[in-house]
Structure 1
Amino acid sequence: MNILYISSGNPTFVRKDILLLSKQNNVKSLLSPWNTVNTPINFIRQFIYLIPRLKKIDVIIVMFAGYWSVIPALFGKIFNKKVFIILGGTDCVSYPEFNYGSLRKPLLKSAIYYSIKNATCLLPVHESLIDFTNSYYDNSKQGIKNHFKSIKTDIKTVYNGYNPRVSLDTIEKSIRKPNSFITVALVNSKIRLILKGIDLILDSAREFPNASFTIIGIAETIKSQLEIPSNVIIHPPMSSELLAEKYLQSEFVIQPSISEGFPNALCEAMSFGCIPIVSPVGAMPTITENIGFTVKNRSTEELSSVIKNALNLTNDEKVNLRFLSHSKIVNNFSENERISKLEQIIEEYKYK
């Protein structure tokens, strides 16, 4: 099958999808960055790219809904091509009070509405992107069914998938720093600092001087504006090899985000044996079910209470949870299962 994979960037999870789909299909990609400045010219470039190639394309897959999904959705309708839009998170939510979520912008919201209305099928990475009440933050109604009540497009959930880089034996032999916590999040603005709950982590860390907190992914411009406790170490983004070492040295992973889709950093940390501490948003309750700890509401007091409970675990309890974390990712969220489901859905719609 001839597949065109479109994305507004070239992140690891996009490259992985393309690589795995290419094993059974002929996959071409159009991975162009879109921003406010280049959007008009990108519409023209996308139009020029698609017109001569449409005849040879059977299926178009678009990673996330946005301006870049409008022309594929339009051409799919006109030329009877199957268009599948993967919904990832920010394209399904609106939090105007701290400027997060694509749906808070009227023009972008219109582009997303047109795209998902005219797509063949929508592929959210988790059910919460369809309909979700954020009890952790503000009790707001999120998900495409709440923002676009008239949408009748077919929806089929396809979870993200992973290929753990270490075995259970490696995790068993790993030497973890006692009372160590790790957080991995790309933070290049104050918005993302709040979104990922880094402010809460910094506040809570002050209450636990005998614990260590490592935060990876903070831009230097943001780091310079923070009051960092002595037991917190902040790093800029790092290579996957160095990140693997940090995971294997840490006992817990903290992700108290306000909004998530299917967080890759959490799944990767768990695959390395980190015990999760998460907020109940997006896919995180599904990923961490019966494992680790949940921060029920967004407050320093609640996060500190959960951290205290984590620190009270016995060594045997930690070892057991470490194995459960790794096994949960291996047994439930494999990359082969994700691609298999994607291909099954594409095949299902082939002659519709």
Structure 2
Amino acid sequence: MEFRNSKSEIENRKSKILFVHNHLATFVRTDRELLAEKYRVREWFQRGRAVNLVALQRAVASSDLVFGWFASWHTFFPILLASRMCKPAILVVGGYDSANLPEIAYGSMRGGFKRRIAQTTMRRATQLITHSEFTRREVIQSVGIPAEKIEVIYLGFPPKPTTSILKEKMVLTIGNVLRENLLRKGIAPFVRAASELSDIPFWVVGRWSDDAIAELKSIASPNVTFTGFVDENVLDSLLTRAQVYVQASLHEGFGSAVAEAMLYECIPVVTRAGSLPEVVGDAGIYAESNKPQGLARAIQHALTLDASWGERARERIIQEFPMDARREKLFCLIDRLLADV
């Protein structure tokens, strides 16, 4: 007689992962969904400072592994508890937690309480994941983490269907409009660059999060449109139409927005900051700086390029950053750590 395991029995045999985050950004949600394909995933969402340590201790104790996104207060206690319980803990880092840019008041590594929390959290994790070689070097330098404890696993992107819609001579950038991002994401230089190309429509897409929008509107020329938050259908339409996408950042842990735009065959114009050269490679145009005049020259050049450049950009993301590669590497790392317990 053949006995079949019930669905619940099979589910119960899966390893249990406590998935820790403080914001379900698209790339965080993607990892949660990937892990749920193979493991039993329980979320621990920690938004504020108040931590229910009793409930958290139970959650860590009932899990086989802790998987956290970003080194900060929300991952500090889960990683610390996992370490004390001799349970493996994976921490994905790269961005504010690893940055040290005092000139724009950005990054946990500038010092103080945030630096101590981020460094301690990274050091107590069993394994760190970064999205880029740039961030790996940044963490080694800023935190002193041994190189063998950090694995680079690039973000993954599903391919977008191609379209027959012709590109328009329009220029797009995406980012939440808040004071922190005016320089870090290059939104202010982007808006100023628009005045150098007054016959070309410039679009700034992103939620208005503070009074930064008033400053941007005060410096904007008539060819700049500020959309505020848009839904996926509107964003899809804008990316489909735009010939050029601009990321004039001063720091990027990866640059998921530019990768998404490249999938839509937008020609990327970027700075050489952070991981952007790893993402764009030779499939885009590099601005000499994020100063408005230099940025405008790079955009003007990109607007003269033919459709093959957009196709080249799309192909790079499909070939270099497939979702299957991230899935495989995440599963391999998790299974190895679980086997070592």
TM-score by length of 2: 0.90
Q: 2:318 aligns with which of 313, 316, 330?
A: 330
Residues 218, 234 of structure 1: 8 Å contact kept:
no
Instruction: Report the equivalent of 1:102.
Output: 108
1:117/1:153 contact within 8 Å kept: no
Q: Is the 8 A contact 1:116 1:153 kept in 2?
A: no
Q: Does 1:176 align with 2:176?
A: no
- Per the TM alignment, residue 298 of structure 1 is displaced from its structure 2 partner at its CA by 3.0
Does residue 78 of structure 2 align to residue 69 of structure 1?
Answer: no
- Secondary structure of 2:315's match? helix
Corresponding position of 2:242: 250
Match of 1:225 in 2: 215
Alignment of 1:151-230 (within 5 A): 154-164=149-159, 166-168=160-162, 170=163, 173-177=164-168, 179-188=169-178, 190-219=179-208, 221-226=211-216, 227-230=219-222
What root-mean-square deviation, in Å, do the aligned CA atoms of Structure 1 and Structure 2 show? 1.7
**Mind listing any 5+ residue stretches in structure 2 that lack a counterpart?**
1-14
Which stretches of structure 1, 4 residues or longer, exceed 4 Å deviation after superposition? 150-153
- Shift of the alpha carbon at 1:81? 0.5
Checking the alignment, whether the CA contact within 8 Å between 2:250 and 2:274 is kept in structure 1 is no
- SS of the aligned residue for 2:215 comes to coil
- What residue is the counterpart of 1:120 in the other structure? 126
**Aligned counterpart, 2:4:** none
The CA deviation string for residues 222-245 of structure 1, in whole angstroms up to 9 with x for no partner, is: 222222111111111211221000
Paired residues of 2:252 and 2:273 also in contact (CA < 8 A): yes
**Secondary structure of the residue that 1:86 maps to in structure 2?**
strand
Q: For this pair of structures, how many residues does the alignment match?
A: 323
For residues 302 and 259 of structure 1, what CA distance do their matches in structure 2 show? 18
Tell me which residue corresponds to 1:282.
Answer: 274
The residue type paired with residue 116 of structure 2 is: S
Equivalent AA in structure 2 for residue 262 of structure 1:
F
SS of match in other structure, 1:163: coil
Structure 1 length as normaliser, TM-score? Answer: 0.87
- Report percent identity of matched pairs: 24
| Pair 1:56–1:112, CA change in 2 (3 A) | same
Q: Give the secondary structure class of the aligned counterpart of 2:211.
A: helix
* SS in structure 2 at match of 1:84: strand
Change (3 A) 1:99 1:182: same
Alignment check: 8 A CA contact 1:120 1:153 kept: no
Give, in whole Å, the separation in 1 of the partners of 2:147 and 2:79: 15
Secondary structure of residue in 1 paired with 2:97: helix
CA distance, structure 2, for counterparts of residue 64 and residue 268 of structure 1: 21
The worse-fitting range, judged by mean Cα deviation, of 22-31 and 329-338 is 329-338
Shift of 1:306: 1.1
Separation of aligned partners in 2, 1:57 and 1:328 = 38
**Structure 1 counterpart of 2:84, from 73, 78, 82:** 78
Give 3-state SS (helix, strand or coil) of 2:120's partner. Answer: helix
TM-aligned CA deviation for residue 105 of structure 1: 4.2
User: Aligned with 1:298: secondary structure?
Assistant: coil
Shift of 1:312: 2.8
Aligned to 1:261: 253
Displacement after TM superposition at 1:121 (Å): 0.5
Rate the CA distance shift 1:211–1:59 in 2: closer, same or farther, 3 A.
same
Letter in 2 for 1:289: G
